[in-house]
Chains A and B, each alone.
Chain A
Amino acid sequence: MVMGSIMKIQKETAEPANLSLASSGILSAQNVDVFYGDQQAINNVSFEIPENQITALIGPSGCGKSTILRCFNRMNDTIDICKVTGDIRFAGQNIYDPKVDVVALRARIGMVFQKANPFPKSIFENVAYGPRIHGLASSKDHLEEIVISSLKRAGLYKEVADRLQESGTGLSGGQQQRLCIARAIAVDPQVILMDEPCSSLDPIATAIIEELMESMKQNYTIVIVTHSMQQAARISQKTAFFHLGDLVEFGDTEAIFTNPIQTRTQNYISGRIG
């Protein structure tokens, strides 16, 4: 019965509905295809991500939501067999243009990964690394200022103020993830991409990070991949639902969760796909 409904869904039109009308998106994707070798992971996806809001990408495992997220700061470049076609723009510039320096791009568009990955260095060094390689700090004091303000904005400073020289890997899972957020903030990006940042955290640590994202959205555009529909519903203003490489539906979070247009979205939200 469930199998049958999935089969039916696949036959439906792949045309994404409810596309955002706001063309002022800071990030936009137009007709993007992504291939891993011969296998197509993303199938003609187009959408726009608005500035200073939280956009959630949801969908079942293997639907391509992480793949499209990693296109926005070209992390897919590190995978030899990955090929991206189409047009992805950051503030109007094509990020796959040969003139674009991927180092500059990643300084504008930071990333937080699924598994907290602090460097095996001190907490201070973890946060200071980005500003240091980009030459953002004019002096030692300035660097310290950046580190402390980044830790404060990530809501971690109070917990680690007296042990900045201790190893970042000694923190708890939730603290490590907030350290990674502080590390991303320290470079002063415009966009922060988050790839299932709470998937390995307990509910309390998750709640802290969600609060943090809520407070961060005034200054940053956040794109978050999550497998938790509740999380998407709680924190995001826009939601994109991916299924089998297609962008099935994209629109205001409230609309998607209360009044989805596509059958596939309905099925996913009601728990019949996933």
Chain B
Amino acid sequence: MPDYTLTTSENLQRRHAAEARFRWIGRLAVLLSLGFLVLMFFSISTRGMGAFGQTHIQLEIHFDEAMLDPNKQRDPQQLARANYKPIVNQALFELFPEVQTRRAQRSLYRLLSSGAVFDLANMAGQNPDLVGSTQLLWLPASAEVDLFMKGKVDVSLEEKLRRLKNNEIAWINQLKVKRQIRKKFNTAFFTKGDSREPELSGILGAMIGSFLSLLVCFSIAFPVGVLTAVYLEEFAKKTRFTDLIEININNLAAVPSIVFGLLGLSIFLGVFHMPRSTPLVGGLVLALMTLPTIIIAARAALRSVPNTIREAALGLGASKVQTTFHHAVPLAMPGMLTGTILGMAGALGETAPLLMIGMVAFIVDVPQGITDVATSLPVQIFLWADSPEKGFVERTSAAIMVLLAFLVLMNLFAVFLRRKLEKQW
């Protein structure tokens, strides 16, 4: 008698259980990785958000002519170089006239960032008419004051264990009452280079350095990588020698990046004597590093172009070069660009090879070209993470956020390009 049962059996139930088990394990794995990702973003952004605000103190600054421009020439260069320390101190003293001892006055003056005088010098240099006038200005507070305003100073701690003393806290509280102290958006973070003082440091130098390095990297790695891939995939006969090349390209892709840094150090700096610490050398090293990635991605993209398209073109009497550049390469372009952008994103986050060629130096100036000394975003993060000043902690996280934002943007751009250029057949 044939078996017509449709209900479940023990054997079937075991299979269902195995399926359910596997599904839950998969979900757990996804959840775990998502959890780590969220944790990372959360910890970085809670720590870094603070850096986008900077405490400023409002002061009534009197641009004293006798002190700044005794010759009454109103020479911008002269004004930019004048000593603004006394007028800033004077303004602070006017706010708190009761502070009389020299010691107390010195700590009063420390409320303000030592960089405030440069802001004033810039202002007067650009607008000499300010001399002789009195302006109500917001000037950056010191890193200690900034941390206190952001609630990152433990007031319950014993006074001598704190860098911010009780009398300073009292002054800050008085300023708060008078509404002469507040957090403003930290424009300096995006418009300035590195600095020894956390409140004066910015990532513009590192961003430009990274951008210039990537520019050099792209303009070398993309054409060389794509042409290599095209030649190997479309023109070269498959021989032992091309197999050897293929194996070596795959091996190069797996070489640790610091090795490329050492290579750059000994070849570009040692043999060719290129300028040290520059985006030029950094870009060259990154290009060496991304080349294998680009070649592999470009070859995969070319291989995914159906052979029937090549046959169609060849059958019409197109030459090999025409077939390749009219049909195969345009059709492979989305894949090639995606691979390149992902390679570039990898290069943007690369630190180790840049340390080797001296891009780890402390550089205050924003680089103007590929032969200026510069640093890059990940190296800047590395440098700040290494700094003992407390103010750099949040700046490190903020710089990481900026770096992550760029990486996300590049990846989105890759997705956009792929969607836009992809063709159906």
Contact = CB atoms under 8 A, between A and B. Distances in A.
Given A115-B308, A119-B312, A120-B331, A130 B238 contact: no
Interface string B410-425: 0000000000000111
Contacts of A120: 309, 331, 423-425
A117 to B, nearest CB: 4
A118 B316 CA distance: 12
B425 A184 contact: no
Interface stretch (B119-127, B151-159, B317-325): B317-325
B192 interface: no
Given A120-B331, A169-B424, A133 B311 contact: no
A26 to B, nearest CB: 18
Interface string A123-138: 0000001100110000
A119 B313 CA distance: 9
B322 A133 contact: yes
Interface stretch (A43-51, A106-114, A228-236): A106-114
B318 A180 contact: no
A80 B237 contact: yes
B311 A113 contact: yes
A106 B312 contact: no
B2 interface: no
B315 A113 contact: yes
Contact of A134 (B313, B314, B317): B317
A118 B306 CA distance: 11
B327 interface: yes
A119 B312 CA distance: 8
Nearest to A183: B316
Rank and list the top 6 A-B pairs by shortest CB-CB distance, nearest first: A111-B315, A117-B308, A107-B317, A106-B317, A120-B423, A130-B316
A115 B425 CA distance: 12
B423 A106 contact: no
A129 B316 contact: yes
Given A75-B315, A133-B318, A133-B322, A113 B237 contact: no
A104 interface: yes
Contact of A117 (B311, B317, B322): B311
A104 B317 contact: yes
Interface string A44-80: 0000000000000000000000000000010100101
A70 B164 CA distance: 87
A248 interface: no
B315 A119 contact: no
A103 B319 contact: yes
A103 B317 contact: yes
Contacts of B319: 103
Interface size for chain B: under 10, 10 to 19, 20 to 34, or 35 or more residues?
20 to 34
A115 B306 CA distance: 11
Contacts, number: 67
Contacts of B317: 103-107, 130, 133-134, 187
B314 A75 contact: yes
A145 B306 CA distance: 30
Nearest to B306: A117
A150 to B, nearest CB: 12
A130 B322 CA distance: 11
17 contacts: A75-B311, A75-B315, A103-B318, A106-B314, A106-B316, A110-B316, A113-B308, A117-B311, A118-B312, A119-B312, A120-B423, A130-B316, A134-B317, A169-B425, A183-B316, A184-B316, A187-B316
User: Chain B: interface secondary structure?
Assistant: helix
Interface string A162-185: 000001010000000000100110
A117 B312 CA distance: 6
Given A129-B313, A129-B326, 5 more contacts: A78-B314, A117-B311, A133-B316, A180-B312, A187-B316
B85 to A, nearest CB: 70
A113 B312 CA distance: 8
B241 to A, nearest CB: 14
Contacts of A184: 315-316
Contacts of A129: 313, 316, 318, 326
A57 to B, nearest CB: 17
Most central of A80, A106, A119 by chain B CB within 10 Å: A119
Contacts of B318: 103, 129, 133
A106 B322 contact: no
Interface in A7-52: none
Contacts of A134: 317
A167 B423 CA distance: 10
A34 B319 CA distance: 23
A119 to B, nearest CB: 6
Interface in A76-113: 78, 80, 103-107, 110-111, 113
A167 B425 CA distance: 9
A184 to B, nearest CB: 7
Instruction: Indicate the member of A75, A78, A80, A107 with the most B CB atoms within 10 Å.
Output: A78
Nearest to B318: A133
A73 B317 CA distance: 9
A118 B313 CA distance: 10
B315 A110 contact: yes
Contacts of A118: 312
Interface centre among B237, B306, B310, B425, by most A CB within 10 Å?
B425
Contacts of A115: 308
Contacts of B309: 117, 119-120
Contacts of A180: 312
A136 to B, nearest CB: 11
A104 B318 CA distance: 9
A80 B312 contact: no
A129 B319 CA distance: 13
A187 B313 CA distance: 12
Contacts of A78: 310-311, 314
A107 B327 CA distance: 18
A75 B331 CA distance: 22
Interface in A239-256: none
Contacts of B315: 73, 75, 106, 110-111, 113, 184
